[in-house]
Chain A
């Protein structure tokens, strides 16, 4: 069965410190993986897609199929990074994206 695990519900770091938000998934097929972010009182926003291998706001995430992980990393955290982060696993229906399975989220707090 498909599952996304984010083991840390809360994560706190100081400004300038590295941060890593963990995400592990369970899926027998070829995964489509995403990170979504929700800043206070705002809508869920797409942060990263594994397929694009991009860096957004200094964040990167590498898909490790051997460890079934898609951890989100940033070398130097900023106060404005404080938000709720959700990892999501997408299931393809043909060539289109079907449902996403979300983790429960990690609340990141960056202290000044």
Chain B
């Protein structure tokens, strides 16, 4: 697609429910990244993929968080048994791979856990 697309834009869920956030990267982009941003803070790294391989998941806060990119394109970030502290903006980005290009970000998904 023309840009990085994230869905849904807004998600309100009850504590204890599972949520799945979707990211559709720019066509042909090798790398896909997930970040989380709390109010007043910079984006915080969660995980990233090159093609379908998860390269680094060191930023996932605990085992309730997981991500996949099975065909090297669309990715899903899943949060199980959501807690109020999971409320944040979740941002996805993609990159062609070459270091100098940086990332292109999507609009984000605002998750609110009530």
Contact = CB atoms under 8 A, between A and B. Distances in A.
Does B associate with A?
Answer: yes
Interface of A: 4, 32, 34, 36, 43-46, 49, 51-52, 86, 88, 90, 92-93, 95-105
B33 interface: yes
The CB with the most chain A CB atoms within 10 A, among B42, B106, B107, is that of B42
Given A43-B108, A99-B48, A32 B42 contact: no
B97 A96 contact: yes
Interface residues of B, number: 29
A102 B42 CA distance: 6
A38 B44 CA distance: 16
B86 to A, nearest CB: 19
Interface in B61-114: 91, 93, 95, 97-108
A45 B45 CA distance: 17
Interface of B: 30-31, 33, 40-45, 48, 50, 55-56, 59, 91, 93, 95, 97-108
A100 B31 contact: no
Nearest to B41: A104
Given A43-B107, A44-B105, A46-B104, A95 B43 contact: no
B42 A104 contact: yes
